[in-house]
């Protein structure tokens, strides 16, 4: 990114169709944090067409445009770690268009993430994986990336796709990963790292394992503690005595809301006994979303779209009623206009 013209081209094209869904989600993470510390993914990468996800620890200083960096998480950044990973990929002929880079903790902190911060990083990683329909390999660089993956699998045990991806655990490409008094151990780590890239290259060149669909097999998703994981959450599904919140710094806090709204309306409960009503409620529509005329992507439900895009979930039900009536409808939030179009219904 040392070349200003190259960096400017990446910046101007960061919302090109193949990379837009990822960078719109980056914008959502930036809004959550109240800062621009989450770097964009540059369009030289494969975006939603990528087959390999490379997970490092946290964004380095060269990702921060305010301090003279590029504003991107990129192997083209002007630092040693980026240069090394670029060389490793080049040696095994893995092209940038096959890759998407990410961090275990996507916000800039320039230090080792705490356990609670890694826990916060699980949802962004899950959301990113949902945006990669051709993903087949995940490379985990370093202990924090490996820890994050274990947390992700524990948090979302119902997602069978996490078990099916080919996961390669290896070392970070920074010099610190090879600090050891024993030269034989240093050599072993370097060999293991190089072999990991070689294995990834062999898998991509062979075309195996096959790319997996981001659409879950609904027949394999069961209930956890009696709650249907396929359904949108209802107010009655959420324990009203405690709402879990996560601050940007990674600290989990609890706020007690008393017992209001504890009982669901008996009339609503009985209405579910009507087969016709139940059928309609179990039917939901996927949606296609454009943000400021740029395609963001398709989502399995309006609720999912609102949640991932950082829109006010409390407003999605009245908006959904209007959207079903007209088929397509804009939704304004802040300085952005989101154009929603309804897609054919999906039965849960």
Give the distance, in angstroms, between the CA of residue 160 and the centroid of all CA atoms in the same chain.
16
- C-beta neighbour count of 271 within 10 angstroms: 12
Question: pLDDT higher for 341 or 283?
Answer: 341
* pTM strictly above 0.95: no
CB contact set of 174 (below 8 Å; sequence gap of 6+): 80, 81, 84
Distance between CA atoms of residues 102 and 42, nearest Å: 11
Helix, coil or strand: residue 332: strand
| Phi-psi domain of 298 (left: phi exceeds 0; alpha: psi -120 through 50; beta: other) | beta
CA distances to 139, 177, 191 from 187, rounded to whole Å, are 20, 11, 6
pLDDT tens, position by position, 254-295: 333 333 334 444 554 565 567 665 555 555 578 888 888 877
Q: Specify the pLDDT at position 216.
A: 32
The superfamily (CATH) of domain 4-218 is Uracil-DNA glycosylase-like domain (3.40.470.10)
* Range in 95-109, 138-152, 224-238 the model is least confident about: 224-238
Q: How many residues are given for the chain?
A: 348
Residue 291: cis peptide before it, omega within 30 degrees of 0 = no
Q: Angle, nearest 10°, between helix axes 80-91 and 183-206? A: 50
In the structure encoding, which two tokens stand for residue 335, read together? 């300085």
DSSP 57: S
CA distances to 122, 169, 301 from 347, rounded to whole Å, are 28, 38, 11
pLDDT tens, position by position, 306-334: 877 778 888 888 898 889 889 999 999 88
**What are the φ/ψ torsions at residue 55 (nearest 5 degrees)?**
-110, 120
Largest interatomic CA distance in the chain: 72
Domain boundaries, the chain: 4-218, 232-273, 282-348
């Amino acid at each position: 990114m040392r070349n200003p013209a190259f960096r400017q081209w990446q910046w101007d094209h960061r919302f090109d169709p193949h990379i837009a869904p990822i960078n719109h989600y980056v914008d959502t993470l930036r809004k959550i944090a109240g800062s621009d510390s989450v770097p964009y993914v540059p369009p030289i990468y494969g975006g939603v067409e990528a087959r390999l996800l490379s997970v490092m620890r946290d964004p380095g200083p060269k990702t921060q445009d305010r301090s003279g960096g590029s504003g991107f998480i990129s192997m083209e950044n002007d630092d040693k770690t980026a240069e090394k990973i670029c060389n490793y990929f080049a040696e095994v002929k893995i092209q940038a268009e096959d890759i998407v880079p990410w961090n275990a903790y996507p916000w800039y902190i320039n230090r080792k993430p705490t356990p609670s911060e890694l826990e916060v990083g699980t949802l962004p990683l899950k959301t990113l994986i949902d945006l990669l329909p051709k993903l087949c390999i995940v490379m985990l660089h370093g202990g924090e990336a490996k820890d994050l993956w274990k947390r992700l699998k524990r948090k979302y045990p119902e997602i069978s796709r996490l078990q099916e991806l080919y996961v390669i655990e290896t070392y970070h490409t920074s010099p610190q990963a090879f600090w050891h008094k024993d030269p034989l151990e240093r050599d072993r780590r370097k060999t293991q790292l190089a072999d990991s890239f070689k294995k990834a290259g062999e898998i991509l060149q062979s075309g195996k394992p096959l790319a997996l669909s981001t659409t879950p097999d609904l027949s394999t998703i069961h209930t956890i503690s009696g709650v249907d994981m396929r359904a949108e959450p209802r107010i009655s599904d959420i324990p009203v005595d405690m709402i879990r919140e996560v601050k940007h710094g990674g600290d989990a806090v609890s706020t007690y809301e008393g017992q209001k709204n504890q009982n669901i309306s008996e009339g609503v409960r009985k209405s579910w006994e009507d087969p016709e009503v139940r059928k309609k409620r179990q039917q939901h529509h996927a949606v296609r979303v454009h943000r400021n005329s740029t395609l963001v992507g398709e989502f399995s439900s309006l609720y999912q779209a609102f949640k991932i895009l950082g829109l006010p979930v409390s407003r999605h039900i009245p908006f959904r009623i209007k959207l079903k009536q007209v088929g397509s409808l804009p939704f304004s939030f802040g300085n952005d206009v989101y154009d929603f179009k309804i897609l054919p219904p999906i039965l849960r």
